[in-house]
Amino acid sequence: MLISILLECSSLGETTIPLTNGHLTQALVLNLIRQFDPELSARLHDEPGYRPYTVSPLSGGARSAAGIALQREQRCRIRLTLLDGGTIWQKLCTHYLEAGPVSVQLGSCLLQLVRIVSSPQADPAGWVSATDWQPPSAGVAGALWFSRSRTCCGEDSCKAGTGMPRHATGMRGRGCARLSRVP
């Protein structure tokens, strides 16, 4: 299963986040996973090439040359696409429903996870989706890894050979994420 969701958060204070914040959203997701599965979080962080997910930069807030300003209680979103067959998704849902308020940190900013958008009908922007998906070499044992390239071909052509639905990466021409067999 491949699922793309939005983590909707509310800022617990005022702050400015750097415009280039992919490393911060990556850390936020790993720290969120650590709350319900510390071993998996450590594996995702430490094992080279093991990334059964993609994470978007932060959306929301007021953009300026200084960064992305978040006011107290302002909503922001991070898109998370999971490619692990549903394990992380099930654990995340259970944690969100049972743990009470879930706090996460984005750089120096403390956020509260207020909503997980998982229904395409609840997402007019079209970032949320789910599908059954098998890698092209299904049935062959082996790990999968992602590589990013800013010099890849266009939006659809670089993903056409992978069998991966276009919504999986959401890169929309800003590079791509290729699914490949580990060499």
Q: So what's the pLDDT on residue 183?
A: 37
Instruction: List, in order of start, the domains of the chain with CATH numbers.
Output: 2-132 (3.30.70.1890), 134-183 (no CATH)
- Contacts of residue 127, defined as CB under 8 A and 6 or more positions apart, other chains included, come to 4, 6, 79, 167, 170
Residue range 9-33, pLDDT digits in tens: 999 999 999 999 999 999 999 999 9
Alpha helices in 38-119 (DSSP H): 38-46, 87-98
Q: Are 49 and 86 in contact (CB under 8 A)?
A: no
Q: So what's the pLDDT on residue 49?
A: 87
Positions of the chain with pLDDT under 70: 133-183
Q: CB burial class (10 A; 0-12, 13-18, 19+) of residue 51?
A: middle
Q: So what's the pLDDT on residue 1?
A: 81
- Contacts of residue 168, defined as CB under 8 A and 6 or more positions apart, other chains included, come to 2, 4, 54, 81, 83, 133, 159, 177
Q: So what's the pLDDT on residue 134?
A: 66
Residue 58 DSSP label: P
